[in-house]
C-alpha cells in the first residue's frame, strides 16, 4: 500500500513514512509539509512515545500549524511504540535513533538540509541524546520540561523514588504495549487504573505491583526499582557527561511546578558552561514559566495566575526556528538570555543570567521552644542565630504517611500531586514541623535555589527528610512554592549509601529545588519539615532496605529530633533580594 496524503489546516501530511535505522529497524513518521509553496523548507523533528498522530499536542500546537508557517514537520514514533518497529526500552536507543532520524529528515524531498528538534519531557530527552552524537544537519534544538539526569531528577530525587510520576508513567506506557500485544481488554483495565491511582499507591512490596507484572508489560519499571542508587545502569544515560559533545544552540523551556524544573535549569547552566563549542555556549536561552508538566496554562489547580501565564511557547519556538533555520533576523537573540515568570506578582521578568546576579543568599534560622509541630506549634524563622533551644520531636509512621498536596510531580492533573495548593490541611498534622517568619514589611523576591540544612537524629537505620517552601498569605492561605527530599542513607553520596546510627546527630543538606516568587508585604515565609511527601515520593519504611521491596511487616516507626541551637544551627538558605 502506498503512502496516503491528506490535507490538514494549511498542510499536506503523509502518514506512516518509514525510515531505516542503522540496525535495520524501521521507524514510522507522519510528515507534514506546507500546502503552498515549493520550498525548500527547514525540517522540524519531534520524537516521542505517545503516538506520532498526537505529537505532544498535550501542550504544543498541532504539527500542521508549524507546517503552515513554512516547515516540514516530522512526527515520529520512537522504537517499539505505535507504528514503529523494534522493541521499546526507555532511553536505550534514543541517541543512535535520533541521529539517524535527523540525517534521514535532512534528505527528505523539499528539505533545505537544516533540521531543528522540539518536544517536551521524553520528547526533550530525545533531542539531547541525539545532539550528543552530533548529527551534521542538526542546527538547533528546543528541549522543554526535561532533565540531564535520568536518576537524579527523573526516577529519583535525593535517593527517594518519584513514585507518583514513575508508577503512572509506567502504566501509561504499558497501555500502548498492551495494545501492541492485542490485549485490548487489559488496556482498558490499565486506563481505568490510572484514573483511580489512589487505590494503588499503598501497595507493598512495589516490586510485585500486579498491574505491571501481569503480561510483562513494563519490565523497565522493575529495573528502576532494582537500581536505587546512581550506578552504571543510570550513568550510561547521563546527559551531563555528554555536554562537551553537544554543539548546537538550545532554547530551554520549563515550569516552576514541573517535576523536571531543576533539570531544565541544570541543562541550561551546564551547556552554557560546557557545550562543545563557543557558538553553542553563547547561544543557550532559558524560559521558565509558572506551569506544571501539562497543560501549560494560566490555571494551575485552584490558582488563576492571570493572562500573563498563558502559554506562548509555540510562537516562541517559531521565532527560534525562524532565526536559526531560515536566517530571519527577528531580534530573538538580542533579547535577554533568561526570561522567568515571577510567582506572586504573576508577571515575566528578563535577566542576563540565572539566577539573577542580584540574587544573594539569605539565611533563615529555625527556632522554637521545643514544639514546632503543626500550625498550632511555636516554630519560627528568623535571620538570627539560635541560642540554647530545645529540639523539635516528631514521629513518622510509614503506614500513615504525610499526604502530598500539590507540588512538582507528573503528569496528570487530578491524579498526580501537581501545582499550587493551600497546605494548611497538611500543616495541621502534628507530624509536620512548621517554621514561619513574621509578616514581611518589605517584599522579598526569591529567585534561585532553596537549600535546607538540618541537624537531626533518629532511632531507625534510615528515614527521609522532606522540606517545603510556602508563601503564607495575610488571610492564612499557605501556597506551596517548592519542595525537596533526602533519603538519609544517601546524605554523603547518591552512589554509595550509608545507614544511620541510632541517636547520632547528622548534618544533613537537603535540596529544596528552585523557584522565582515575590513574597509580598504582609505575607510570611514558611518552611515545613517532615519525613514523607506521599505519593510524590515513595514512603521510606525506615528499615534501611530498599523501601520498594519491603512489605508492611518490615515497616518501622521513626522518632526524629530536629536540633536548632548554638552548635546545631539548622537553617534554610534562599537566593533573593528585598524589593524596595
Enter the DSSP assignment of 69. Answer: T
| Cα separation of the two ends of the chain | 69
Cα(542)–Cα(514) distance, integer angstroms = 28
Strands (E), 332-415: 338-342, 347-351, 360-367, 380-382, 392-396, 407-408
258 has catalytic annotation: yes
Phi, psi for 365 (deg, rounded to 5): -95, 145
Do 15 and 77 form a contact (C-beta atoms < 8 A)? no
Catalytic residue among 100, 258, 511, 550: 258
Residue 142: enclosing H or E segment and its boundaries? strand 138-144
Catalytic residue among 62, 252, 293, 564: 293
Residue 365 pairs with which residues in a beta bridge? 382, 571
Cα(201)–Cα(533) distance, integer angstroms = 12
Q: Exposed, middle or buried by CB within 10 Å (0-12, 13-18, 19+), for 553?
A: exposed
438 has catalytic annotation: no
Phi, psi for 463 (deg, rounded to 5): -160, 175
Distances in Å between the Cα of 284 and the Cα atoms of 140, 151, 244, 278 are 10, 24, 14, 11
> How far is C-alpha 470 from the chain's CA centre?
19
In three-state secondary structure terms, 305 is: coil
∠ Cα 167 173 174 (to 5°): 85
Do 318 and 68 form a contact (C-beta atoms < 8 A)? no
Count, residues in the chain:
580
97 has catalytic annotation: no
Catalytic residue among 59, 75, 111, 121: 121
Residue from 166, 167, 105, 110 nearest 136 by CA: 105
Enter the DSSP assignment of 96. Answer: H
Cα(452)–Cα(30) distance, integer angstroms = 48
Phi, psi for 146 (deg, rounded to 5): -145, -175
Catalytic residues: 121, 258, 293
Amino acid at each position: 500500500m502506498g503512502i496516503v496524503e491528506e490535507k490538514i489546516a494549511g498542510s499536506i501530511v503523509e502518514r506512516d513514512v518509514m525510515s531505516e535505522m542503522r540496525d535495520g529497524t524501521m521507524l514510522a513518521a507522519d510528515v507534514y509539509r506546507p500546502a503552498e509553496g515549493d520550498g525548500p523548507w527547514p525540517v522540524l523533528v519531534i520524537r516521542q512515545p505517545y503516538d506520532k498522530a498526537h505529537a505532544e499536542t498535550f501542550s504544543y500546537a498541532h504539527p500542521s500549524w508549524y507546517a503552515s508557517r513554512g516547515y516540514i514537520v516530522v512526527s515520529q514514533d520512537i522504537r517499539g511504540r505505535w507504528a514503529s518497529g523494534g522493541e521499546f526500552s526507555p532511553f536505550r536507543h534514543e541517541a543512535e535513533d535520533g541521529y539517524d532520524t535527523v540525517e534521514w529528515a535532512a534528505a527528505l524531498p523539499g528539505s533545505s538540509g537544516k533540521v531543528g528538534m522540539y518536544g517536551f519531557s521524553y520528547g526533550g530527552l530525545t533531542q539531547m541524546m541525539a545532539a550528543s552524537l552530533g548529527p551534521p544537519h542538526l542546527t538547533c534544538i528546543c528541549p522543554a520540561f526535561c532533565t540531564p539526569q535520568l536518576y537524579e531528577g527523573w526516577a529519583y530525587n535525593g535517593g527517594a523514588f518519584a513514585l507518583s510520576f514513575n508508577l503512572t508513567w509506567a502504566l501509561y506506557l504499558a497501555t500502548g504495549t498492551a495494545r501492541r500485544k492485542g490485549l485490548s481488554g487489559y488496556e482498558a483495565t490499565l486506563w481505568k487504573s490510572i484514573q483511580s491511582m489512589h487505590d494503588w499507591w499503598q501497595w507493598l512490596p512495589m516490586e510485585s505491583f500486579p498491574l505491571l507484572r501481569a503480561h510483562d508489560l513494563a519490565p523497565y519499571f522493575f529495573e528502576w526499582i532494582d537500581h536505587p542508587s546512581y550506578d552504571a545502569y543510570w550513568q550510561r544515560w547521563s546527559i551531563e557527561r555528554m555536554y562537551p559533545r553537544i554543539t548546537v544552540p538550545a532554547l530551554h523551556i520549563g515550569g516552576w511546578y514541573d517535576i523536571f524544573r531543576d533539570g531544565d535549569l541544570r541543562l541550561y547552566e551546564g551547556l552554557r558552561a560546557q557545550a562543545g563549542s563557543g557558538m553553542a555556549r553563547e547561544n543557550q536561552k532559558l524560559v521558565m514559566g509558572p506551569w506544571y508538566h501539562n497543560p501549560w496554562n494560566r490555571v494551575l489547580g485552584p490558582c488563576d495566575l492571570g493572562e500573563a501565564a498563558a502559554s506562548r511557547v509555540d510562537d516562541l519556538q517559531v521565532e527560534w526556528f525562524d532565526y536559526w533555520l531560515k536566517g530571519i533576523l527577528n531580534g530573538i537573540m538580542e533579547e535577554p538570555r533568561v526570561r522567568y515568570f515571577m510567582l506572586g506578582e504573576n508577571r515575566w521578568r528578563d535577566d542576563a543570567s540565572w539566577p539573577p546576579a542580584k540574587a544573594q543568599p539569605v539565611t533563615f534560622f529555625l527556632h522554637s521552644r521545643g514544639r514546632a509541630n503543626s500550625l498550632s506549634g511555636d516554630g519560627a524563622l528568623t535571620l538570627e542565630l539560635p541560642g540554647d533551644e530545645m529540639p523539635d520531636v516528631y514521629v513518622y509512621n510509614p503506614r500513615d504517611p504525610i499526604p502530598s498536596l500539590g507540588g512538582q510531580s507528573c503528569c496528570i492533573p487530578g491524579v498526580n500531586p501537581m501545582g499550587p495548593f493551600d497546605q494548611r490541611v497538611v500543616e495541621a498534622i502534628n507530624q509536620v514541623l512548621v517554621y514561619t517568619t513574621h509578616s514581611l514589611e518589605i517584599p522579598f523576591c526569591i529567585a534561585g535555589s532553596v537549600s535546607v540544612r538540618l541537624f537531626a537524629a533518629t532511632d531507625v537505620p534510615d528515614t527521609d527528610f522532606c522540606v517545603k517552601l510556602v508563601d503564607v498569605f495575610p488571610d492564612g492561605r499557605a501556597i506551596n512554592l517548592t519542595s525537596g527530599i533526602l533519603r538519609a542513607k544517601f546524605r554523603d553520596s547518591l552512589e554509595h549509601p550509608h545507614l544511620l546510627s541510632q541517636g547520632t546527630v547528622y548534618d544533613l543538606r537537603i535540596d529544596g529545588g528552585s523557584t522565582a516568587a515575590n513574597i509580598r508585604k504582609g505575607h510570611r515565609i514558611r518552611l515545613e519539615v517532615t519525613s514523607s511527601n506521599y505519593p510524590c515520593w515513595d514512603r521510606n519504611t525506615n528499615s534501611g532496605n530498599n523501601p520498594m521491596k519491603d512489605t508492611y511487616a518490615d515497616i518501622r516507626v521513626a522518632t526524629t529530633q530536629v536540633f536548632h541551637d548554638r552548635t546545631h544551627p539548622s537553617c534554610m538558605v534562599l537566593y533573593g533580594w528585598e524589593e524596595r
